[in-house]
C-alpha cells in the first residue's frame, strides 16, 4: 500500500481522504454533531467565532506546532515567549477585544505553547484585590507587556496553607515603605510560573507586620528585575527551579527577598489599607485573599482540565476504531478494538465524564459570576459556599480527569506511550493540576469544613446555601428500583448520590463530635476524622455534578435526539460512579445486593448503546488536527501513515552518529572477519 502524504497533518484534515473505518462511524450518528458542538460552545455564534480564530491561527506559520515533540526546553521556552508576544500583536491587528471570546479560543488552541500564563494571574489578582487607582496604574502596563508579572504565593515550605506563609512585610512609618524579607530558606517563593526568567514584577504574598503585630497575609506589588537590563533588583535573588515533569515552556522560579523596600501604595488595598501613621483599616473578610485563587480555579477547570480530557477522549476513541486487533469471532476479520467491551469500559466512561464536567462547569460558572459580582461590591455572603464549591470541583475534576487521560493513553497500547500520540504530554501536564492552585487533599478538607458547619446549621433547623440544602432533607434511605431499567431514571440515581453524600457527611460529623465530647482536642479529632471528611467532601462534589447534569437535560426537552444522547451520557456517568464506588452505596444501606447487580447490568448495557455514537460524540468537541497535535488522533484516521511520517522528522534520524564512531565501531569491526 502506498503511503499517503500526511506530512502536513498538523492542519485540519476535514475533507481529506478519510480512513473507511472512521468514516463509517460518522455516517451512523444518531444526532446532529453540529448542534451538539453549538451547545458545548454556548451557541452557534460562539462556534463560528471559535472556528474563525482557529482558521487565523492555523493559516499563520508562527503558530505551527510542527516538530514540537522534538524541541529542547530552551527552544520551548523561547518559542512560547515569541509566540505569545506575536499573538498580542495579532490580536490587535484582528481587532479582538482583550476580554472578548477570541482570547479564550486562542488559549484553547495554543495554551500549552504560550508563555505568560501566570502573568495573567498577576493581572487578575490586581483586578480582584487592587483599588481603582492601582488597577489604572498597573493593568495597562501589564496588558501591553511593558511589564511582566508573576503571582508569588507558594513557598518552599508552604503551599495551600496561606496562614503558614513566612515571607514578612514590615511597615516603616518613617519612609512610608514596606520592607519585605525572606527570613529563612523555607520562606523562599518557589514554583511561581514566569518567575524564573521572565517576570519584572510580582504580586508577593507576605505576613503584614505593623508595630510588631502580625495582621496576616497581604499582597504587595514588588519589582524584582530591572526594566533596563533585566538584572535582579537590589536585595532580590531570583532564578529558575530546574527541570519538571512537564511545562517545559514555563519558567517556574524561586525568589528570595532581603530588605526589599516597596512603596506604601504597592500594597493591594481594595479590602484592607495601612494608613500613614501605621494604623490598619480592614474592609470585608479575611477570606478575601482566597478570591484570586477561586478565580483561577474556576478558570482552569474549563480551560485546562476539561479541554485536556476532551482531547484525550478524541484521540483514544478515534484510534480505537482504526486499530484492529485479535478476533471476536474465530475466522472473522480482526475487529475494531472499540468493539471489545473491555475497551468500551475504559474509554466511554471518560467520554461521559467529559460531558458531565462540561455541564458542571456551567453551574459553577453561574454561581461564581454571582458571588464574584457581590464580592466586588463588598458583599461576602456567597464567598464560603463559592470557595467550598470551587475547591471540591477542582479536586474532583482534576483527580478524575488525570486518571481518565492516563486510561486513554494506556487504552492506545504501545502507540499511546509515544509522545507523537499527544497523550503522554496531556497526562503530564494535567496531573500537575492536582497540586497547583491548591493541593487536592487540603482542598477536600476545606470543603469538608464547610460541610460540617452546614450540617450543624441543618441540625439547628437554620437555612442553608442551595448547594447543601440536601443536608436538611429526611428520607428512608432505601432505593425504590425494582428492575435494572429503573436505574435509567435520573430521580433514582440522583437520590442514591444524595443519600451517599448525606450519610458520609453525617458519619464524619458524628465521629468528629463524639471524639470532641470524649475529651479529644478539636484539632486532634479533626485529624483522626480527616480520611472520612475528605471522602465525604468528594461524595458531595460527585453528587453536585450528577445533580446538575440531570438538570441540564431539561434544557433540551424540545430536541429529542440531542436530549437522548445526553441522557445516555448522564446515565453512564452516574451508573459508572455507582459501579466504581459500590461499597459506599451499600454501606449507606441505600442499595441492596440485588440492586447492585441491576446497576452493573444497566451500566454494561449502556456501553454498547454509547459505542454506536462514540466517534460523533468526540467529533462534537470540534478539535482541529492542529489543536490535537496527535499522530494517531487526526480527523482522517490515517494513524499509521502519520506516525511514520512524524517519526522520520526526528533529529536523531538526520544527525551524524558520533556514538557509533566513538564506542560501537571498534566492537562491530571485530565481527568482520567472523561473519
Residues involved in catalysis: 437
CA distances 374 to 370, 463, 626, 640, 642, Å, are 6, 20, 40, 54, 52
Contacts of 635 (CB under 8 A, 6+ apart): 12, 13, 14, 16, 18, 318, 619, 624, 625
Distance CA 198, CA 359 (A): 37
How many CA atoms lie within 13 Å of 648's alpha carbon, on the beta-carbon side?
8
User: Does residue 409 contact residue 417 with C-beta atoms inside 8 Å?
Assistant: yes
Q: Which has the closest alpha carbon to 604: 350, 345, 273?
A: 345
User: Does residue 129 contact residue 142 with C-beta atoms inside 8 Å?
Assistant: no
Q: Which has the closest alpha carbon to 271: 289, 251, 259?
A: 289
3 state SS for 156-195: CCCCCCHHHCCCEEEEECCCCEEEEECCCHHHCEECCCCC
User: Does residue 639 contact residue 324 with C-beta atoms inside 8 Å?
Assistant: no
**What sections of 460-559 are H helices per DSSP?**
490-517, 522-528, 530-553
Give buried/exposed letters for 530-563 (b at 16+ CB in 10 A, else e): bebbbbbbbbbbbbbbbbbbbebbeebeebeebb
Three-class SS state of 623: coil
**Torsion angle in degrees (nearest 10) through CA of 559, 560, 565, 567:** 90
User: Does residue 100 contact residue 50 with C-beta atoms inside 8 Å?
Assistant: no
3 state SS for 25-43: HHHCCCCCHHHHHHHHHCC
| CA 496 to chain CA centroid, nearest Å | 27
Burial class (CB in 10 A: 0-12, 13-18, 19+), 245: exposed
Q: Which residue bears the cell 435494572?
A: 484
Q: In what helix (H) or strand (E) does residue 261 lie, and over which residues does it extend?
A: strand 260-263
Q: Which residue bears the cell 484534515?
A: 13
Residue 151 sits at φ, ψ, to 5 deg, of -115, 95
Residue 634 sits at φ, ψ, to 5 deg, of -70, 160
Distance CA 531, CA 445 (A): 9
Count other C-beta atoms under 10 Å from residue 665's C-beta: 11
Q: Listing from the earlier edge strand, what are the strands of the sheet with 253-257? A: 189-190, 253-257, 236-240
Amino acid at each position: 500500500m502506498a503511503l499517503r502524504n500526511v506530512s502536513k497533518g498538523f492542519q485540519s484534515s476535514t475533507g481529506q481522504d478519510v480512513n473507511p473505518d472512521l468514516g463509517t462511524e460518522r455516517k451512523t450518528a444518531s444526532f446532529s454533531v453540529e448542534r451538539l458542538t453549538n451547545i458545548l460552545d454556548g451557541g452557534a455564534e460562539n462556534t463560528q467565532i471559535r472556528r474563525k480564530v482557529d482558521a487565523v491561527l492555523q493559516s499563520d506559520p508562527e503558530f505551527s506546532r510542527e516538530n514540537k515533540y522534538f524541541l529542547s526546553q530552551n527552544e520551548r521556552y523561547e518559542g512560547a515567549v515569541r509566540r505569545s508576544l506575536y499573538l498580542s500583536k495579532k490580536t490587535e491587528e484582528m481587532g479582538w477585544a482583550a476580554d472578548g471570546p477570541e482570547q479564550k479560543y486562542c488559549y484553547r488552541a495554543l495554551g500549552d505553547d504560550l508563555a505568560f500564563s501566570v502573568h495573567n494571574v498577576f493581572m487578575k489578582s490586581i483586578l480582584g484585590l487592587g483599588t481603582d487607582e492601582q488597577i489604572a496604574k498597573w493593568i495597562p502596563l501589564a496588558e501591553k507587556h511593558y511589564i511582566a508579572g508573576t503571582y508569588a504565593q507558594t513557598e518552599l515550605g508552604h503551599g495551600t496553607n496561606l496562614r503558614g506563609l513566612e515571607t514578612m512585610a514590615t511597615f516603616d512609618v518613617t519612609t512610608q515603605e514596606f520592607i519585605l524579607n525572606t527570613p529563612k530558606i523555607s520562606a523562599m517563593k518557589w514554583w511561581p510560573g514566569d518567575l524564573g526568567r521572565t517576570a519584572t514584577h510580582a504580586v508577593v504574598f507576605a505576613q503584614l507586620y505593623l508595630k510588631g503585630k502580625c495582621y496576616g497575609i497581604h499582597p504587595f506589588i514588588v519589582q524584582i528585575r530591572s526594566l533596563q537590563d533585566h538584572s535582579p533588583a537590589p536585595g532580590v535573588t531570583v532564578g529558575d527551579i530546574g527541570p519538571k515533569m512537564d511545562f517545559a515552556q514555563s519558567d517556574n522560579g524561586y525568589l528570595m527577598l532581603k530588605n526589599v523596600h516597596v512603596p506604601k501604595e504597592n500594597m493591594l488595598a481594595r479590602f484592607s489599607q495601612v494608613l500613614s501613621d501605621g494604623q490598619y483599616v480592614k474592609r470585608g473578610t479575611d477570606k478575601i485573599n482566597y478570591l484570586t485563587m477561586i478565580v483561577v480555579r474556576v478558570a482552569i477547570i474549563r480551560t485546562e482540565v476539561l479541554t485536556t480530557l476532551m482531547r484525550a477522549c478524541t484521540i483514544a476513541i478515534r484510534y480505537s476504531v482504526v486499530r484492529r486487533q485479535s478476533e471476536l469471532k474465530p475466522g472473522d476479520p480482526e475487529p475494531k478494538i472499540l468493539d471489545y467491551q473491555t475497551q468500551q469500559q475504559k474509554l466511554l466512561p471518560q467520554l461521559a465524564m467529559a460531558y458531565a464536567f462540561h455541564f458542571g462547569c456551567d453551574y459553577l460558572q453561574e454561581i461564581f459570576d454571582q458571588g464574584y459580582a457581590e464580592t466586588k461590591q463588598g458583599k461576602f455572603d456567597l464567598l464560603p459556599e463559592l470557595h467550598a464549591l470551587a475547591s471540591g470541583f477542582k479536586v474532583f475534576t482534576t483527580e478524575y480527569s488525570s486518571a481518565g487521560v492516563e486510561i486513554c493513553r494506556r487504552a492506545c497500547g504501545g502507540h499511546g506511550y509515544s509522545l507523537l500520540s499527544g497523550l503522554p504530554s496531556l497526562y503530564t501536564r494535567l496531573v500537575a493540576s492536582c497540586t497547583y492552585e491548591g493541593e487536592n487533599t487540603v482542598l477536600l478538607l476545606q470543603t469538608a469544613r464547610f460541610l460540617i458547619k452546614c450540617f450543624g446549621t441543618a441540625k439547628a433547623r437554620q437555612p442553608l446555601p442551595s448547594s447543601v440544602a440536601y443536608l436538611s432533607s429526611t428520607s428512608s434511605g432505601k432505593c425504590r428500583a425494582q428492575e435494572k431499567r429503573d436505574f435509567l431514571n435520573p430521580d433514582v440515581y440522583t437520590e442514591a448520590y444524595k443519600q451517599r453524600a448525606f450519610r458520609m457527611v453525617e458519619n464524619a460529623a458524628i465521629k468528629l463530635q463524639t471524639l470532641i465530647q470524649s475529651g479529644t482536642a478539636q484539632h486532634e479529632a479533626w485529624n483522626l476524622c480527616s480520611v472520612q471528611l475528605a471522602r465525604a467532601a468528594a461524595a458531595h462534589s460527585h453528587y453536585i455534578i450528577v445533580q446538575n447534569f440531570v438538570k441540564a437535560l431539561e434544557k433540551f426537552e424540545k430536541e429529542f435526539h440531542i436530549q437522548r444522547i445526553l441522557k445516555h451520557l448522564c446515565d453512564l456517568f452516574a451508573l459508572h460512579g455507582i459501579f466504581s464506588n459500590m461499597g459506599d452505596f451499600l454501606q449507606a444501606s441505600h442499595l441492596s445486593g440485588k440492586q447492585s447487580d441491576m446497576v452493573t447490568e444497566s451500566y454494561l448495557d449502556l456501553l454498547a448503546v454509547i459505542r454506536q455514537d462514540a466517534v460523533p460524540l468526540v467529533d462534537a468537541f470540534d478539535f482541529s488536527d492542529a489543536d490535537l497535535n496527535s499522530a494517531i488522533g487526526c480527523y482522517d484516521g490515517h494513524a499509521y501513515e502519520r506516525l511514520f511520517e512524524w517519526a522520520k522528522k526526528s533529529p536523531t534520524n538526520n544527525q551524524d552518529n558520533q556514538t557509533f564512531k566513538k564506542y560501537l565501531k571498534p566492537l562491530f569491526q571485530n565481527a568482520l572477519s567472523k561473519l
